[in-house]
Structure 1
Amino acid sequence: MNKKLMILFGAMLSVFIISGCGADNKEASTEEKTAASEEKAASENDSENKNEETGSEEPAAVDSESGDFAELIDYMKTTTDAEEATVFYESTDPQTHDMDGVTASLDQYSIVGLKDFHTDYSIPFNDETNGAVVLTQYTITNDTDEDVHYMPSMYMSIPGATQQYNNYREILPEEGQLPVKLNPDNKYLIKAGESVTGTYTYPLGESELYGAIAAGEGTIEAPTAQTDPDDISTAIGRKGSFIIDFRSVAAEESESADTENTSKESSTDINEGFYEDATTLENMGEKAMLDQKEGIGESQELGDTTVTLEGYQFTEFTPNMEEAPRFEDFNGVVLLTVNFALDNKTDENIGLGSISSTLTVDDSWWQLNEGMLTNYRISEVIESGESGELLQVYVLDKEEYDKLWKDKSFEIEIGPIRNEDAKDISKGKEAVFQLK
């Protein structure tokens, strides 16, 4: 973070944007309440003592499920005894991830600066009393015909950070928080046809926020649902991710200081249009299209399974800081992602993670597919009588691709087809497809 940007950010912290909200929703006084249990009375006494220690007002009651972030931000400001609360950036464009009928949605989020809050709250803010909160709202919807269980472990990662960030319960009403609504006591249950909406907050100290702005974005993992909460093999669909746009904080700082600003593409659209291999789904970096072909439709039979080559994409891949070490031996990276359709006419389920393939270039150089970049779980199958997608990914050195390979022939040999126990069900047969 350059010095100018730090000065701009400091200036933003000194500007008060959020006005007090919810003044008409005061809690009833103790005299107005009916007799409570001794446990509840003790809890209220503890809360009053804490307010006296921090010198803060008791926060006004808010409807934490209304989606009104203004009230929630005012609640955070009052609870932490912050001098100011400033919205640095907000997004109301939902990001959704479907998991075979169970949908996780990041409905909205705000990056909120908190200035000079009480030291009692400093630990999750990297022991600092200036910082920011990424305030989010999620909705998990179960559109299947059976009950599911969803553990809301929505961890946020930032390239270059030494830790992952998780929900901080102490600054918002607990009853509206997603990890409170879906918890071990109710076995994270979401009944068929129902949905659960809740908040989630990620605290960042001031220095961590500078790092996030420099990195440009954060990635929040959307875990899978399960039909059995105690059996990971019953997971539904694949995990996904959501993007928090920190680069726009820097952009708005520049605008507020009337400096030159170059518009940038929204981070949520960076990998739009690319095959959903692990690099796309888990937001491992940025892709740029080099060559692609769709609608090929060439089919071959492997036993009782029809394998169809649907298309392929050559992309230049720039890994983010977190993923860069795994590609450090390459002089730039080109990914070849190949899209197959499998029509399973066997009596068994096909295990997607157990199918391998080989890429041969110019009849002289070959490599196996990179299974870690498709990231199929053991439970991911194409059921008997059904059709589905199979992606295969290969990693190429960009310097070699540009100088030696890009105009040569590319051939894929795929198979045999294997069931969910990795047993060969196509009698060793393999199919060969010519890409170009």
Structure 2
Amino acid sequence: MKKKVLLSLVTIALLGISGCENSKNNASESSVSESSVSNSREKQRITKTSNSNVEEERTDEEVDMEDAQKLLKENTKAEKLTMLFEKGDVVTNGDNAVNFTINGYQYIKIENFSRDFSVSFGDQNREGGVLLVSATYKNNSDKSVYTGPGFSMNVVGYGSAIGRDEDLLENDLVGELLEKNNEIKPNEEISGFVALGVKPAAMQKITESGTAEFELPGFYSKPDSFSKADTIAEPKKERITLSDEGDKNNTESSKFYEDKLTKDNMGTKTMIHEKNLGKSETFENATVTAEGYQITSFEPNEDQASRFSKFESGVVLITVKLNIKNDGESPLNVDSTSATLKIGNTVKMMSENMLQIKSGEDNVGKGSEATKCLVFVLDKDEYEKLYKDQDLLLDVNLYDTDFKRITTIGNIQFELS
């Protein structure tokens, strides 16, 4: 069987993700045996054509993680493969019509591999990491769509993006798409594998953080056009876990509002106080709802410490979650939404835009809505001694698409305490 068929299936492919089912993520440091790497199992594969007529094609082998591991070992001539972590949780971008899915992934250490790969792994061939990703593109619509770039990840403390290495797997999923000019035809599904090469320096940072930010590709209506007008689904970044500790921390962090500090894993939050509000205020044709707020202590990661160095006693964050709905004719730029926070009768502070993210489009038109989390940063000692028991008053600023403020002081206010 040709390796190209082995690694990329066009239309509906049944992927046996060896060891990934039920999110079995307790495989840390377990060795990938020679037999599991070398022997592919006898199975059947079912594929469908891209039109409504169903055809069945039967072959002797089904593409699975073991086949991908086998090819990885053959291509790199690695003496040993060791499983560091695996996960089968589904991560998706898109909707029911057009979507991209990570079916599962394995983080593997390779040792004593071919010198041909030494440059890719930091000018040495003793050890390196490989993220082996099983993924599927699906187009349930009646028109061709085109996919954009993806399959790269960033790790906290490591300065460079970690990308796909086409030499690790011959004719991988990305290679298959490139041959098709990144086109996914109507009612077509394409599945396969992609491998990312991880240098030892990046592996060390993964050991420290246990997570990475993975870029999921988007979809477009025209080939080679990534303009907003041609966008069907924007590319997005999702945090994935690469160790048991990272998996635990990721579960912990899910209880916090998704500001930039949480999403980019900039440090550790500890909850001090949380309150659901559900209060709404209307300005002209916009309704702003303060869903709640969280007060947390924050300890930045080593690489983020200098950013918070002026807070000598520590950092306290006040994060407010807003929902903004627009029923007017003129769109609002939700990404520019800001606020001032009045503490007691004397202190006023602005929200920190560089620590905030929004969920949804930048510009929200009639009938649409988006979420924005506002962040305020305080010195820990000052919070404990001066602000802890003070009243908090939030004054929200809305902006139009020309970045012009359309509200004045007092138009949209919420008492938080």
TM-score when scaled to structure 1? 0.72
- Shift in alpha-carbon separation, 1:166–1:312, aligned structure 2, 3 A: same
- Shift in alpha-carbon separation, 1:234–1:391, aligned structure 2, 3 A: farther
- Shift in alpha-carbon separation, 1:160–1:13, aligned structure 2, 3 A: farther
Q: Is 2:315 the partner of 1:319? A: no
Q: Is 2:227 the partner of 1:231? A: yes
More helix by share: 1
Contact 2:94 2:218 in 1 (8 A): no
Which of 214, 217, 222 is the aligned partner of 1:220?
Answer: 214
User: Aligned AA for 2:81?
Assistant: A
The aligned residue for residue 260 of structure 2 is 278
The aligned residue for residue 36 of structure 1 is none
- Shift in alpha-carbon separation, 1:355–1:211, aligned structure 2, 3 A: closer
Which of 193, 200, 203 is the aligned partner of 2:197?
Answer: 203
The aligned residue for residue 131 of structure 1 is 128
CA distance in 1, matches of 2:339, 2:229: 25
- Shift in alpha-carbon separation, 1:226–1:121, aligned structure 2, 3 A: same
Once the two structures are superposed, residues 218-254 of structure 1 have per-residue CA deviations (whole angstroms, 9 ceiling, x without a partner) of 33233555556232576546733232324x4xxxxxx
CA distance in 2, matches of 1:111, 1:297: 42
User: Aligned AA for 1:306?
Assistant: T
- Shift in alpha-carbon separation, 1:224–1:409, aligned structure 2, 3 A: farther
Residue 74 of structure 1 and its aligned partner are, at CA, apart by 1.2
Which of 279, 301, 313 is the aligned partner of 2:282?
Answer: 301
CA distance in 2, matches of 1:104, 1:319: 33
Q: Is 2:363 the partner of 1:345? A: no
Which of 102, 106, 109 is the aligned partner of 1:110?
Answer: 106
The aligned residue for residue 73 of structure 2 is 77
User: Aligned AA for 2:356?
Assistant: T
User: Aligned AA for 2:368?
Assistant: E
TM-score when scaled to structure 2? 0.75
Which of 33, 38, 51 is the aligned partner of 1:20?
Answer: 38
Which of 115, 119, 130 is the aligned partner of 2:115?
Answer: 119
- Shift in alpha-carbon separation, 1:319–1:219, aligned structure 2, 3 A: farther
Q: Is 2:345 the partner of 1:363? A: yes
Which of 355, 363, 366 is the aligned partner of 1:373?
Answer: 355
Q: Is 2:175 the partner of 1:180? A: yes
CA distance in 1, matches of 2:414, 2:343: 12
Residue 411 of structure 1 and its aligned partner are, at CA, apart by 0.9
Identity %, equivalent residues: 26
Which one has the largest radius of gyration? 1
Structure 1, unpaired ranges of 5+: 1-10, 26-60, 249-262
CA distance in 2, matches of 1:233, 1:375: 22
User: Aligned AA for 1:80?
Assistant: T
The aligned residue for residue 163 of structure 1 is 160
User: Aligned AA for 1:362?
Assistant: G
How many aligned residue pairs are there? 369
User: Aligned AA for 2:111?
Assistant: K
Residue 346 of structure 1 and its aligned partner are, at CA, apart by 1.1
Once the two structures are superposed, residues 84-111 of structure 1 have per-residue CA deviations (whole angstroms, 9 ceiling, x without a partner) of 2222222122334568986554321112
The aligned residue for residue 33 of structure 1 is none
The aligned residue for residue 19 of structure 2 is none
| Most deviating of 278-287 and 12-21 | 12-21
Contact 2:239 2:263 in 1 (8 A): no
Which of 255, 265, 269 is the aligned partner of 2:251?
Answer: 269
